Amino acid sequence: MNILGFESSCDETGVAVVAFEGQEAPRLLGQALHSQVQMHEAYGGVVPELASRDHVRRALPLAEAALAEAGLGVHDIDLVAFTRGPGLAGALLVGAGVACGLAAALCRPTLGVHHLEGHLLSPFLSADPPEFPFVALLVSGGHTQLMRVDGVGHYELLGETIDDAAGEAFDKSAKLLGLGYPGGPALARLATQGNGLAFELPRPLLHQPNLDFSFAGLKTAVMTTLNRLGPDVNDAQRADLAASTQAAIVEVLVRKSMRAIRQTGLRRLVVAGGVGANAALRHELGQACTRMGVKVHYPELHLCTDNGAMIAMAAAMRCQAGLAVLSNEHRFGVKPRWDLAEAGVA
């Protein structure tokens, strides 16, 4: 079975081909990705209308590139998958429209995929895939959640952020430090030159017994610190502040993940979403997991942020689990707001 997957929930257009036979592990045959980051940079954030228009321009050429890499023609595709939500409504509609139009022309079914299920299952495309059950730490630009995952479609929310997501905390702090958009990777780079103990920044909810997060106070603390340092702030201080911000985010993520491991008694942790690419987080989680005898799994670095491969993969795993509700109608709707728990065993 060959699946063509489209991702267009935000500012990346991604298309990929994933194939599987029976219950064998699905394989990524080809993929193509275009990031709109440069286009949105001038505005300091994603401009939804520009995002939609760019998805229109990119989707089909990227599909051709992904198919070419896979060595397949469009008629070899058996199922067309797309991100149904959550995300920007206009951007989602473009991906859904292209996917359903293509499927209609080919007389093939479609499957709408939950974007976070894509992130969550992306580590199954790595050389060392996890086994169920596991605790998942989902850390992206829009979400920060801890989940218990017992199988495809079996997702139990254990805790989540009550305000900003971890990626948002990286991006907003980076903006205050003058690092552009999206600032997560830039802040991480600057942090390598600084001392994470230099500034004492808040670790909200760290000592609460629950598995919830709060990152909104962090950007305020970064702003207050920058105001205190004044206009003469030097490069070393900025690097120290970047390192201290990263240390605060990473410590909370690691401590809460380990708490989830203790509470569930599970011995596997899966990290997914853009912030999963962060080297400091990977280092600290690695150490904590080794101490607790826990195996930790990540997507490959290039599959941490949004991509088409994770959408095609989630579709493949849903098919294999007998949970794919395929549509031959080619009418489509999107869900800009959509809880993953609701998208479970539907």
Query: Taking CB under 6 A as the rule, which mask of x and - marks residues 75-94 in contact with ligand ATP?
Result: ------------x-------
Region 3-22 residues binding ligand ATP, contact defined as CB under 6 A: 9-10
Q: Which of 11, 54, 117, 164 binds Mg ion (CB under 5 A)?
A: 11
DSSP 181-205: SS-HHHHHHHHTTS-TTSS----TT
Q: Which stretch binds Mg ion (CB under 5 A): 51-59, 65-73, 280-288, 298-306?
A: 298-306
* Binding flag, residue 188, ligand ATP (CB under 6 A): yes
Q: Positive or negative CA dihedral for 123, 124, 130, 133?
A: positive
184 binds, among ligand ATP, Fe ion, Mg ion, none (CB under 5 to 8 A by kind): ligand ATP
Q: Applying CB under 5 A, does 140 fall inside the site for Fe ion?
A: yes
Sign of torsion over alpha carbons 82, 86, 92, 96: positive
Binding residue (CB under 5 A) for Fe ion from 299, 306, 308, 319:
306
Residue 333, burial from CB neighbour count under 10 angstroms (0-12, 13-18, 19+): exposed
Question: Would you say 163 is a known binding-site residue?
Answer: no
In contact, 316 and 129? CB cutoff 8 Å:
no
Residue 257 labeled ligand binder: no
Give every CB contact of residue 42 below 8 A, 6+ residues apart in sequence.
none
Residue nearer to Fe ion on the CB measure, 184 or 204: 184
Residue 11 found at the interface with Fe ion (CB under 5 A): no
Which residues, listed in sequence order, are joined to residue 159 by a DSSP beta bridge? Answer: 146
Peptide bond just before 86 cis, omega within 30 deg: yes
Residue 219 found at the interface with ligand ATP (CB under 6 A): no
Residues that bind ligand ATP in the complex, under the rule CB under 6 A: 9-10, 87, 115, 119, 140-143, 167, 170-171, 182, 184-185, 188, 273-275, 277-278, 305-306
